[in-house]
Amino acid sequence: MEVAEKFLFLQGNVSVSLRNMMVFLREKGHNAMICNTKWDSSSGVTVYNYNFIDMIQSNSSLWQSMYFVDIDFIAQFEIAQLTCKYSEIRSSLPSIFVGTVEELKRIV
């Protein structure tokens, strides 16, 4: 989490923030890469594009943990017509997510 906060001042440009964060994580010895997923419409136009960092932290040669780093996590839950209940649930989400697959599944 502290790594993500280090680059918050660049939030205006998510791609620059992600790149700087990935470089920082690699310098710390982690295997980190930027992942880009996109969904295309039937006409081939990209309708959604999502970028995050996938990081593998090695604590020993036998044990590895995979983490996802999303510096704008809460934005993934924006919808046009907010209800009071949805707004309440959304406000409980972290704005930045750094965690394992299991933690991400629990939140979603």
Structural domain boundaries of the chain?
2-107
3-class secondary structure, 100? coil
Confidence class for position 103, pLDDT limits 50, 70, 90: very high
- In this structure, how many other beta carbons lie within 10 angstroms of the beta carbon of residue 63? 8
Report the DSSP pairing between strands 97-99 and 31-40: unpaired
Query: Using CA atoms, how far apart are residues 14 and 16, in angstroms rounded to an integer?
Result: 5
Q: Is the pTM of this model over 0.75?
A: no
Cα distance between the two ends of the chain = 19
pLDDT above 90 for 40: no
